[in-house]
A and B are shown apart, each in its own frame.
Chain A
Amino acid sequence: MHLHRYEKIWLTFGIGSLIIFLTVLGVSAFAMGHQPPSHMAKVDPQNVRSEAPFDEPGLRQIDETTYQANIIAMAFTYQPNKIEVPVGSTVRFHVTSSDVVHSFTIPNTNVNFMVTPGHINMAEHTFTEPGTYLVLCNEYCGTGHHHMQMTIEVVE
């Protein structure tokens, strides 16, 4: 099978680019810790409120600037529906679903992950600007899906 000289150049360039892209992704993931949200913890989706931490959904302070937010996503809201943290706080969101598949998405941040029943998913974000942050569900969850939201108040 004959490969034209230009095709060799083209494929070398193309495959070389792909290798560079993948190397960047791999280094970012495995050397710098920027992994996609892939939490392995599990929960009984029909009894999420019977066990910690979702028996008491809400915000818990871990240290001076770090919080853990335990949130239950459900059709068509989040529990709690509003949390408040001081500016500069780092919040670890631990989210599960008590019914169908949802997402936990804060527009204009990198917090955007799926919430599948039976699993707890998580992401972390540092809020450096004060304001009212919108959280929305971007996975279709039923007729009221477009109403599903909560807010995060980041205060001075």
Chain B
Amino acid sequence: MKNSALRVEEYSSDLDVRVAPKDAALSMAHIYIAFSAFLVGAIAGLLQGLVRGGMIELPSWLGYYQILTAHGVLLALVFTTYFIFAFLFAGMSRTHGAFSDRLRKLSWTGFIVLTIGTLLAAVLIILNEASVLYTFYAPLTAHPLYYVGLTLFVVGSWISGAALLAHYFSWKKAHKGERTPLFGYMTVATIVLWIIACLGVAVTVLLQMIPWAFGLTDEINVLLSRTLFWYFGHPLVYFWLLPAYIAWYVSIPKIIGGKLFSDSLARMAFVLFLLFSIPVGFHHQLMEAGISHMWKFIQTLLTFVVIVPSLMTAFSIFGTFEQTGRAKGGTGIFYWLHKLPWKDVRFFAPFMGMIIFIPAGAGGIINASFQMNAVIHNTLWVVGHFHLTVGSTVLLTFFGISYWLIPHLTGRKFTPFLNRLGMVQTWLWAIGMFFMSGGMHLIGLLGAPRRTAYTTYQNHPDALVWFEGIFTNYITIAIGGVILFVAAVMMFYNFIYMTWLAPKGDTEFPISEPAEDASETPKVFENWKLWIGIAIVLILFAYTIPIYDMIVNAPPGSPTFDYLIK
């Protein structure tokens, strides 16, 4: 228990197995862009918080909705996607061996296409030609090239995804009959989920938005485009979450000096995510016309099923903690908790994320609760919710990964100094988020809208309340935002430190040994054709009839509205 921070130095058992240097370069290229986007996105977030609190006014050349778009795109899309690919490329190289030159070239191609798309979208956001928010709902219209940028972003991610899949399946071919490493299994589930999910956004962008924005078609079917967006928009959140779960299942057990609780349950959880995270998009559209009660309710049922693998994950991870704590001599109902490395940020940052996921998940259940959604739909409650899920659980886990991933890739040491910085960073993030997200949740219950600039609605008493409470106050939210910004700048410094300043040396990429039960894992889990088939059947079941109805019984469409965003 005592001096567990010392383990940082001792912790160097598995150094000979590493990410191949050429793959490390690829992974680091993603990391650079991820953290650059992170810093700019965090600045945009800080400004938003201060504007909404009425504490500052933006200069005339910078719009509130412009920085809102930038914040959402840079943090929710760019930071997450680049970080995820950095982690998956490095992890696949570490667990399945170096990528072949052909596949590495394919990965670089994916990176380049992804980056061209990102830059195109970024330029148009800077020019204020794309202030349509990251949900880019039609018929608000951005510059046509913005949609081209988003398309390239998705295509780039598919190319990179294809490289990861090919690497996994070539390993499988070369190791006939062997159980695949858990990291690769989970990577495949994540990428397959992403590819199936992106089909929705690809269809709406390629077949609806691009022809319409370029003037080739006059009108757009708004409800259909929203539905296709949310077909993508919900599994998108699982695309963020699953890599964090990979770290929980595969790396955290090793960091705490133990083994995963169960291999087969881990695989089963990922299969359930693949099956049930997609046919559920209507729970984002519960409050809109043109979709019947019945289909909304069916997708609500399916939404609740996707809670089950998260319950399984909670059990497996805490089971791993207890098993490890007891193996280290912890006894009693709770004493084993003392045996966990609380002073090691590589454990503590993701652990904080796990704890935050408990209220975050409960909030999510409320949001998805059918007619109850009316209470919180499009209020700041929802913004508070996803700042807990993706903004805390996923991000704190990604930060936790960074502390070993980046020094491992750059050939530097994870030092006690870095550990202390990380611990402070984690606490600041959690405290800032407590005020910001807590305030957002409560003020949302009082009706404060999301995606809205500073306004008192002509001093209406129902709106002035949002500036008067102690906790239910835009100022409290802004203070939380300032604390978070300080934490974000610290994290950016940590990235700089780990990339260029830390002493040269070795840091392990932690991968847990297989769980005790790994040899008994049923073969059926490796049957991807079966799982993809079931996923498609569920999607067809949940979407065919309502989408057919939206197309056949569509009202006349909408023209472009690009002047409203400038």
A residues within 8 Å of B by Cβ? 1-4, 6-7, 10-11, 14-15, 18, 21-22, 25-26, 28-30, 34-47, 75, 99-101, 103, 105-108, 110-123, 132-134, 136-143, 145-147, 149, 151
Give Cα A42–Cα B374 distance, bound, in whole angstroms: 22
B391 interface residue per 8 A CB criterion: no
Given A7-B319, A118-B557; A39-B304 close (CB under 8 Å): no
Q: Are A25 and B372 in contact (CB under 8 A)?
A: yes
Q: Which residues of B contact A147 (CB under 8 A)?
A: 455
Do A140 and B522 touch across chains, with their CB atoms under 8 A apart?
Answer: no
In the complex formed, the residue of B with least CB distance to A41 is B289
Smallest CB separation, A9 vs chain B (Å): 10
Residues of A within 8 A of B446 (CB): 107-108
Nearest CB of B to A54, in Å: 13
Decide: A36 and B463 in contact? CB cutoff 8 A. no
Known A6-B315, A45-B557, A136-B447; further 7 A-B contacts with Cβ < 8 A: A3-B265, A37-B287, A113-B377, A114-B285, A118-B222, A136-B463, A140-B133
Q: Are A140 and B312 in contact (CB under 8 A)?
A: no
Contact (A38, B293) CB under 8 Å given A21-B365, A107-B446: yes
From residue B371, how far is it (CB to closest CB) to chain A in Å?
5
Contact sample, A vs B, 16 pairs, CB 8 Å cutoff = A7-B315, A38-B291, A38-B296, A99-B564, A103-B378, A108-B462, A112-B379, A118-B290, A118-B558, A119-B555, A120-B289, A122-B289, A138-B451, A142-B561, A143-B564, A146-B455
- Residues in chain B near residue A11, CB distance under 8 A: 308, 311-312, 315
Interface code B182-225, partner A: CB below 8 Å = 1, 0 otherwise? 00000000000000000000000000000000000000011100
Residue of A nearest to B449 (CB): A138
Q: Which of B65, B448, B463, B556 contacts A140 (CB 8 A)?
A: B65
Instruction: List the B side residues contacting A106 at CB < 8 Å.
Output: 447
| Residues in chain B near residue A3, CB distance under 8 A | 265
Q: Cβ of B457 < 8 Å from any Cβ of A?
A: yes
Q: Which residue of A has the minimal Cβ distance to B365?
A: A21
Residues in B whose Cβ lies below 8 Å from that of A41: 289
- Rounded to whole angstroms, the CA-CA distance of A4 and B515 in the bound complex is 14
B287 touches which one: A114, A117, A132, A149 (CB < 8 A)?
Answer: A114
Q: Find out whether the CB atom of B447 lies under 8 angstroms from the CB atom of A107.
A: yes
Q: Which residue of B lies closest to A7 (CB)?
A: B315
Contact between A36 and B566 (Cβ–Cβ < 8 Å)? no
| Residue-wise interface mask of B (118-138) relative to A, using a CB-CB cutoff of 8 A (1 in contact, 0 not) | 000000000000010100010
Asked if B222 contacts A108 (CB within 8 A), the reply is no
In the complex, the answer to whether A132 meets B460 with C-beta atoms within 8 Å is: yes
**Shortest CB distance A127–B (Å):** 14
Q: Nearest 3 A-B pairs (CB), nearest first?
A: A107-B447, A142-B564, A118-B555
Q: Are A100 and B139 in contact (CB under 8 A)?
A: yes
Residues of A within 8 A of B373 (CB): 36
Contact partner of A146 among B285, B453, B522, B553, CB < 8 A?
A: B453
Which residues of A lie under 8 Å from residue B65 when comparing CB positions? 140, 142-143, 145
> A139 to B289, alpha carbons, bound, how many Å?
14
Measured in the bound complex, the distance between the Cα atoms of B375 and A118 in whole Å is 24
Give chain B residues whose Cβ lies under 8 Å from the Cβ of A40.
Answer: 289-290, 292
Write out the residue numbers on chain A whose beta carbons fall within 8 Å of the beta carbon of B457. Answer: 134, 136, 149
User: Chain B contacts of A136 at CB under 8 A?
Assistant: 447, 449, 457, 463
B151 to chain A, nearest CB (A): 22
Residues of B within 8 A of A100 (CB): 137, 139-140, 558, 561, 564
Residues of B in contact with A (beta carbons under 8 Å apart) = 63, 65, 68, 131, 133, 137, 139-140, 221-223, 226, 262, 264-265, 268, 285-293, 296-297, 300-301, 304, 307-308, 311-312, 315, 319, 365, 369-375, 377-379, 446-455, 457-458, 460, 462-463, 517, 520-522, 553-559, 561, 564-566
- Whether A139 contacts B451 by the Cβ 8 Å rule is yes
Report the separation of the CA atoms of residues A55 and B41 in the bound assembly, to the nearest whole angstrom: 45
Residues of B within 8 Å of A46, CB to CB, are: 556, 558-559
Q: Which residues of A contact B453 (CB under 8 A)?
A: 145-146
Task: Give A39's nearest chain B residue, CB to CB.
Answer: B289
Cα A26 to Cα B315 in complex, Å, equals: 28
Closest to A34 in B: B371
- B447 and A105 contact, CB distance less than 8 A: yes
User: Are A22 and B300 in touch, CB under 8 angstroms?
Assistant: yes
Bound-state Cα–Cα, A38 to B455, Å = 29
> For residue B307, which residues in chain A have a CB less than 8 angstroms away from its CB?
14, 18
Contact B371 A141 (CB under 8 A): no
With a cutoff of 8 Å between Cβ atoms, the chain B residues found around residue A38 in the complex are 288-293, 296
What is the bound-complex CA distance between A122 and B53, given in angstroms? 32
B286 near A36: Cβ-Cβ < 8 Å: yes
Tell me which residues across on chain B come within 8 A of A4, comparing CB atoms.
262, 319
Q: State the Cβ distance, A117 to closest chain B Cβ, in Å.
A: 5
Write out the residue numbers on chain A whose beta carbons fall within 8 Å of the beta carbon of B463.
107, 134, 136
- Per the bound structure, the CA–CA distance linking A132 and B68 in Å amounts to 31
Tell me the bound Cα distance from A112 to B381 in angstroms: 14
Q: State whether A116 touches B290 (Cβ < 8 A).
A: yes
Closest chain-B Cβ to A44's Cβ sits at a distance in Å of 4
Q: In whole angstroms, how far apart are the Cα atoms of A38 and B304 in the complex?
A: 21
Give B460's nearest chain A residue, CB to CB.
A134
Q: Chain A nearest CB: distance from B536 CB in Å?
A: 24
In the complex where A38-B293, A42-B555 touch, is A99 in contact with B369 (Cβ < 8 A)? Answer: no
Given contacts A118-B558, A134-B457, A143-B565, contact A113 B374 (CB under 8 A): yes
The CA of A6 and the CA of B457, in the complex, are separated in Å by 53
Q: Decide: A116 and B447 in contact? CB cutoff 8 A.
A: no
Residues on the B chain within 8 Å of A113, using CB: 287-289, 374, 377
**Known contacts being A18-B304, A25-B372, A114-B287, is A108 close to B556, with CB within 8 Å?**
no
Given A11-B315, A140-B65, A118 and B369 touching (CB < 8 A)? no
Contacts of A142 in B (CB 8 A): 65, 140, 561, 564-565
Asked if B369 and A141 make an inter-chain contact with CB atoms under 8 angstroms apart, the answer reads no
Q: How distant is the Cα of A40 from the Cα of B222 in the complex, in angstroms?
A: 14
Q: How far is the CA of A68 from the CA of B293 in the complex (A)?
A: 22
For A43, A46, A112, A149, the residue with the greatest tally of chain B CB atoms inside 10 Å of its CB is: A112
Shortest A113–chain B CB gap in Å is: 5
Query: Which of B288, B301, B561, B565 has most chain A Cβ within 10 Å?
Result: B288
Q: What separation, in Å, do the CA atoms of A47 and B446 have in the docked complex? A: 35
